[in-house]
Amino acid sequence: MQANGAGGGQQQQQPPSSQGPELGCLGAQNGEASSGSTAGEQLAHANGLLPSANSGGGGGLSVNNGVSAPGGSAAEMGGGSGGSALKKKKRLSQSDEDVIRLIGQHLHGLGLNQTVDLLMQESGCRLEHPSATKFRNHVMEGEWDKAENDLNELKPLVHSPHAIVRMKFLLLQQKYLEYLEDGKVLEALQVLRCELTPLKYNTERIHILSGYLMCSHAEDLRAKAEWEGKGTTSRSKLLDKLQTYLPPSVMLPPRRLQNLLRQAVELQRDRCLYHNTKLDNNLESVSLLIDHVCSRKQFPCYTQQILTEHCNEVWFCKFSNDGTKLATGSKDTTVIIWQVDPDTHQLKLLKTLEGHAYGVSYIAWSPDDNYLVACGPDDCSELWLWNVQTGELRTKMSQSHEDSLTSVAWNPDGKRFVTGGQRGQFYQCDLDGNLLDSWEGVRVQCLWCLTDGKTVLASDTHQRIRGYNFEDLTDRNIVQEDHPIMSFTISKNGRLALLNVATQGVHLWDLQDRVLVRKYQGVTQGFYTIHSCFGGHNEDFIASGSEDHKVYIWHKRSELPIAELTGHTRTVNCVSWNPQIPSMMASASDDGTVRIWGPAPFIDNQDIEEECSSMDS
If you average pLDDT over residues 164-168, what whole number do you get? 91
The residues near 112 (Cβ < 8 Å, ≥ 6 apart) are 64
- Judged by DSSP in three states, 321 sits in coil
Res. 1: pLDDT tops 80: no
DSSP helix/strand/coil, 478: strand
Which positions ≥6 away from 526 have C-beta within 8 Å? 502, 503, 547
Residues 6+ apart with CB under 8 A from 286: 265, 280, 292
Query: Which residues does residue 497 pair with via DSSP β-bridges, in sequence order?
Result: 490, 509
Separation of CA 71 from chain center: 52
* Strand boundaries in 288-358, DSSP class E: 302-307, 314-319, 325-330, 335-340, 347-353
**317 vs 336: CA distance, rounded Å:** 10
Is residue 53 predicted with pLDDT exceeding 70? no
CB-based contacts of 604: which residues, under 8 Å, 6+ apart?
297
* Weakest mean pLDDT among 12-16, 219-223, 278-282, 500-504: 12-16
Give the pLDDT score at 578: 96
Question: Integer distance in angstroms from the first to the last C-alpha of the chain?
Answer: 22
**Average pLDDT estimate for 449-456:** 90
Q: For residue 209, what pLDDT is reported?
A: 92
Please say whether the beta carbons of 558 and 514 come within 8 A: no
Q: Which pLDDT band, with edges at 50, 70 and 90, does 112 fall under?
A: very high
* pLDDT for 442 beyond 90: no
Q: Flag whether pLDDT at 46 surpasses 70.
A: no
pLDDT computed for residue 589 by the predictor: 97
Q: Which of residues 401 and 359 earns the better pLDDT score?
A: 359
pLDDT of residue 267: 86
What stretches of 89-156 show up as alpha helix (H) in DSSP? 94-109, 113-123, 130-141, 144-154
Q: Which pLDDT belongs to residue 279?
A: 63
Say what the pLDDT of residue 480 is. Answer: 95
CA–CA dist 117, 102 (Å, integer): 14
Mean pLDDT of 405-431: 90
Model confidence over 285-342: pLDDT tens digits?
Answer: 777 888 877 778 888 999 999 999 999 999 999 999 999 999 999 999 999 999 999 9
Q: Above 50 in pLDDT, residue 181?
A: yes
pTM of this prediction?
0.69
Give the residue-averaged pLDDT of 450-455: 89
The region of weakest confidence among 3-7, 59-63, 178-182, 212-216 is: 59-63
| Cβ count near 66 (within 10 Å) | 6
Q: What per-residue confidence (pLDDT) applies to 281?
A: 63
